[in-house]
Amino acid sequence: MNILPKLLYLFQALPINIPLNKFIAWDKMISRFIWNSKKTRIKFKTLQLPKSKGGMALPNLTEYFYAAQLRPLPCWCRPDYESKWKEMERKIQGYQTQILVGDKHLIVPNSSIYTRNMEDMCTLRWFAYDSKFKPGTYDPVFKEWAQKGMTVSAGGEFLSFQDLKTKYGLENKDFYRYMQLRNDFTKEIRPVETINKVIGVIMDSYKQKGSRPISAFYQALGESRGESTLYIKAKWETELKIQIQEEEWYHMCETQCTSTNSLIWREFCWKNLTRYFITPKIKSRQLAIQQNCWRLCGSMEADHAHIFWNCTKMRTYWQNVNLVVKNVLGYEIPNTCPVMLHIAWS
């Protein structure tokens, strides 16, 4: 969209809180433009999903705003990033500013972004400056370890004392401090098997990975939102009386938008997949008058599955498609609905 770069500039230039109702108003304006002030056929949240997930990659302005506001966090955490503003914040606070990212007692939870990722925030805590880890307050050795960049876990597991001695030069007299850290890690951190994508962006910055933080945060926030097109898959399964695996469904979503350079054909395949078209069954509900299949096959329940597969007047068409594909590939393929529709949508 042409307006997105202008809004991103606004989001980054003015670090202020934008009321939620403003984003709602913008979304309504975009929706009215897309549907020409008519009734929507596809959910707005579905349109905002990536094309590989069955959406149209429509920008989510709310999450772009949050991504723009989160952009300084990787700059805090990257050891190779230097700037005047970073040095000023470090001197004003009196400690490494990145400790604010993981200490929930120093964060004001005023947005859903924090709430959605709160459980995984503990993995970013710095033991030397953790407000709940009291030994870090009284023992300066922990701060010395932090200055060395000492990390006590890897892959969700707490490192052994011997590993830390080898890597960071710890001495035998530090074993008690090690036990304090391990006890706090076991009780407070409780590492999860799968790291949240938003947290992963920040963790990658410590490893000096990633160069487009806004895009990375935007993608991560979208995945953490939990929206999907699986509800559309469920409708196809109900009408066709079949089971479609989630992996197979997303493969169809991705294939239909990458298998051709024709934008018109991509749009048509997407409309088929997402049940965009108005069928006689839908028209019957709109008009309160029973509508026959427009192919005049005699069916009075012409839903999406009927129009694209079950209609008796479509049998010859699908048989011919199966024959052509078989001749091209040189081997037999099942003439079943999932296989043939997958070919058609691809």
Q: Is the pLDDT of residue 339 over 70?
A: yes
State which amino acid sits at residue 309: W
Q: Which of 173-187, 257-271, 332-346 bottoms out in mean pLDDT, i.e. has the lowest?
A: 332-346
Mean pLDDT: which of 28-42, 98-112, 180-194 is highest?
28-42
Torsion of CA 231, 236, 241, 243, to 10 degrees: -60
Q: How far apart are CA 54 and CA 250, in angstroms?
A: 7
Q: Which of 9-23, 49-63, 105-119, 227-241 bottoms out in mean pLDDT, i.e. has the lowest?
A: 105-119
Mean pLDDT: which of 25-39, 99-113, 195-209, 287-301 is highest?
25-39
pLDDT at 88: 81
Please give the average per-residue pLDDT across 190-214, as a whole number. 74
CB of 59 closer than 8 Å to CB of 4 = yes
pLDDT band of residue 161 (cuts 50, 70, 90) is confident
Answer yes or no: is 268 within a domain.
no
Domain boundaries, position 181: 68-222
Beta strands in the chain (DSSP E): 153-154, 157-158
Answer yes or no: is 112 within a domain.
yes
Answer yes or no: is 201 within a domain.
yes
Answer yes or no: is 207 within a domain.
yes
Q: How many CB atoms lie within 10 A of CB 47?
A: 19
Answer yes or no: is 118 within a domain.
yes
Q: Is the pLDDT of residue 104 over 60?
A: no
pLDDT at 163: 85
- The model's pLDDT over 112-154, given as tens digits with 9 standing for 90+, comes to 555 555 556 667 777 777 777 778 778 888 877 777 767 777 7
Answer yes or no: is 37 within a domain.
no
Answer yes or no: is 116 within a domain.
yes
Q: Is the pLDDT of residue 29 over 90?
A: yes
pTM, two decimal places: 0.79
Please give the average per-residue pLDDT across 291-314, as a whole number. 88
Answer yes or no: is 143 within a domain.
yes
pLDDT at 191: 58
Q: Which helix (H) or strand (E) holds 92?
A: helix 84-93
State which amino acid sits at residue 260: T
Indicate the number of domains in the chain. Answer: 1
pLDDT at 94: 63
